[in-house]
C-alpha cells in the first residue's frame, strides 16, 4: 500500500501550519542561516572521519596502526556529525515542508540519503569489523559510502535552484 | 569578473552554480574537515594513540589537495557573482580569517613544529602546539560561518 500523495500533502500542510513550524518559519531569517551552518558542520564532521577511514583502509595512512584502533574515534565523530546533520536538516525541513515536498531535487536527496544511511550502517556494523577477512569488499564499501554521501551533498545543493 | 566568459556562463547556466557550489562544499569537507582532525590531535582530543607528527605528515597532502579544489571552485563561484559577494559584510571577515588561518598553519609548519620536542609521539603536547591547533580549529570554523552568511547578509546597512 503506497502513500496517498494528497493525504501526504495534507500532513505536510498540517506540519507547516503547526505552532512549532510556524515559529521556525516566522522567526528571523538568521535562524535558517544558523541551521544551514550547523548542517554544513554536521556534514563536514560526518564526511572527514569517513575520508580518514578510506585512507586507512587503502593503506595510504597510519599503516602501522591497527584498523580497529584507528576506526574507533573517527566512527564516533562521524556518527555525531550524522546526528547533527539529520537534526538540523529536519529543522530546516520543518520551516517549509510543502516547499521541499514540491521540489524534485529534495526527493532525489531523500532517496540518496536513505541509500547512504543503509550503506553507512552496513559499513560500520558488518563490513569494517570483518575487514581482515574481506579486504576488497571493505575497500569497495568505503568508496561507495563516501560517493553516496557526496551525491547527497550534490542533490542538497540543487534544492535551492529547482522548482 | 562577472563579465568574463566563465563568470557569465555560470551565472546564466541553470545547474552550473549548484554543481560548483557542491564541489566547493565537498572540498571543504575534505580539506577543512581533515585539517580539523589534525587540529583535534594537536589539542590532544583525537587519535591520541597516533603520533601527531605521523598524522600531520600523512594527512597533509590530502588537506592541500582539498584546499586546491576549494580555492578553484571558490574563485569560479566568485567570478559569477563578484558584485554581490564583494558587497556582503561577511566577505572581508572570511578573507581575514583565511589569511590568519593560513599564517597560523605556515608558522606551525615552518617554526613551531620544527622546534626540538615540539611533537612528542605520546603524552601532552607543548602549549604552543596545542594553541596552534586550537587557533586553527576556531579560525576555520569562522571561515565557514562567514562563508555561509554571505547570501544572508548582503549589505552593511
Closest partner CB to B49 (pick from A43, A61, A69): A69
- For A77, the 3-state DSSP assignment is helix
Residues 6+ away with beta carbon under 8 Å from B67: B27, B31
- Stated length of chain B: 157
DSSP result, B12-48: HSSSHHHHHHHHHHHHHHHHHHHHHHHHHHHTT-S-T
- For B4, the 3-state DSSP assignment is coil
Check CB contact under 8 Å for A48 and B36. Answer: yes
- Stated length of chain A: 163
Task: Give the mean pLDDT of B108-113.
Answer: 93
Mean pLDDT of chain B: 90
Q: What is the dihedral of CA A72, A74, A76, A79, to 10 degrees?
A: -130
- Model confidence at B110: pLDDT above 90: yes
How would residue A1 be classed by pLDDT, with cut points 50, 70 and 90?
Answer: very low
**Count of C-beta atoms within a 10 Å radius of residue A93:** 19
A153 contacts on B by Cβ (under 8 Å)? 22, 25-26, 29
pLDDT tens sequence across A108-153:
999 999 999 999 999 999 999 888 888 999 999 999 999 999 999 9
Chain A interface, mutation test: which of B25, B56, B93, most A Cβ atoms within 10 Å?
B25
B58 contacts on A by Cβ (under 8 Å)? 55, 60-62
CB pairs under 8 A between A and B: 93
- Residue from A91, A90, A86, A84 nearest A25 by CA: A91
pLDDT tens sequence across B96-108:
999 999 999 999 9
Q: List helix spans (H) across B81-113.
A: 82-87, 90-110
- Model confidence at B30: pLDDT above 80: yes
Contact (CB, 8 A) for A41 and A127? no
Check CB contact under 8 Å for A158 and B17. Answer: no
- Model confidence at A6: pLDDT above 70: no
Q: Looking at CA atoms only, how far is residue B58 from chain A in angstroms?
A: 6
DSSP result, A86-144: HHHHHHHHHH-HHHHHT-HHHHHHHHHHHHHHHHHHHIIIIIGGGTTT-HHHHHHHHHH
Q: Which residue has the cell 563578484?
A: B82
Q: Is the dihedral of CA A131, B33, B78, B69 positive or negative?
A: negative
What pLDDT is attached to residue A32? 85
What pLDDT is attached to residue A163? 62
* Residue B103 grid coordinates: 599564517
Per domain, the residue ranges of chain B are: 5-149
pLDDT tens sequence across A16-70:
777 777 776 666 678 888 999 999 999 999 999 999 999 999 999 999 999 988 9
A37 contacts on B by Cβ (under 8 Å)? 144-145, 148-149
Question: Of the ranges A63-77, A91-105, B66-80, B119-133, which one carries the lowest mean pLDDT score?
Answer: A91-105
Q: How far is CA A120 from the centre of its chain?
A: 10
What pLDDT is attached to residue B101? 97
How would residue A15 be classed by pLDDT, with cut points 50, 70 and 90?
Answer: confident
Q: What is the dihedral of CA B148, B151, B152, B153, to 10 degrees?
A: 100
Contact (CB, 8 A) for A149 and A50? yes
ipTM: 0.88
Check CB contact under 8 Å for B25 and A40. Answer: yes
Q: Is the dihedral of CA B57, B63, B65, B71 positive or negative?
A: negative
What pLDDT is attached to residue A27? 66
Closest partner CB to B145 (pick from A37, A45, A73): A37
Amino acid at each position: 500500500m503506497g502513500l496517498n500523495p494528497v493525504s501526504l500533502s495534507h500532513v505536510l500542510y498540517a506540519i507547516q501550519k503547526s505552532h512549532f513550524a510556524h515559529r521556525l518559519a516566522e522567526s528571523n531569517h538568521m535562524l535558517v542561516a544558523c541551521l544551514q551552518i550547523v548542517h554544513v558542520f554536521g556534514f563536514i564532521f560526518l564526511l572527514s572521519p569517513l575520508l580518514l577511514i578510506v585512507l586507512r583502509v587503502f593503506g595510504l595512512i597510519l599503516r602501522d596502526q591497527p584498523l580497529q584502533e584507528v576506526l574507533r574515534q573517527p566512527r564516533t565523530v562521524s556518527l555525531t556529525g550524522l546526528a547533527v546533520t539529520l537534526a538540523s536538516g529536519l529543522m530546516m525541513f520543518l520551516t517549509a515542508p510543502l516547499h521541499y515536498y514540491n521540489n524534485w531535487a529534495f526527493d532525489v536527496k531523500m532517496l540518496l540519503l536513505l541509500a547512504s544511511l543503509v550503506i553507512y550502517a552496513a559499513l560500520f556494523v558488518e563490513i569494517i569489523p570483518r575487514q581482515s577477512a574481506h579486504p576488497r569488499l571493505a575497500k569497495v564499501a568505503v568508496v561507495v559510502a563516501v560517493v553516496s554521501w557526496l551525491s547527497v551533498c550534490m542533490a542538497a545543493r540543487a534544492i535551492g535552484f529547482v522548482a | 569578473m562577472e563579465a568574463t566568459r566563465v563568470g557569465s556562463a555560470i551565472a546564466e547556466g541553470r545547474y552550473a552554480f549548484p554543481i560548483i557550489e557542491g564541489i566547493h562544499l565537498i572540498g571543504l569537507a575534505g580539506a577543512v574537515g581533515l585539517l580539523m582532525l589534525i587540529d583535534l590531535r594537536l589539542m590532544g582530543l583525537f587519535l591520541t594513540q597516533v603520533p601527531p607528527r605521523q598524522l600531520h605528515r600523512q594527512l597533509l597532502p590530502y588537506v592541500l589537495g582539498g584546499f586546491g579544489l576549494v580555492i578553484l571552485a571558490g574563485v569560479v563561484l566568485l567570478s559569477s557573482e563578484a558584485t554581490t559577494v564583494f558587497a556582503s559584510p561577511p566577505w572581508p571577515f572570511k578573507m581575514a580569517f583565511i589569511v590568519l588561518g593560513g599564517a597560523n598553519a605556515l608558522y606551525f609548519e615552518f617554526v613551531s613544529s620544527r622546534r626540538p620536542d615540539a611533537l612528542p609521539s605520546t603524552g601532552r603536547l607543548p602549549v604552543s602546539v596545542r594553541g596552534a591547533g586550537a587557533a586553527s580549529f576556531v579560525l576555520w570554523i569562522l571561515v565557514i560561518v562567514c562563508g555561509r552568511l554571505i547570501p544572508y547578509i548582503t549589505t552593511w546597512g
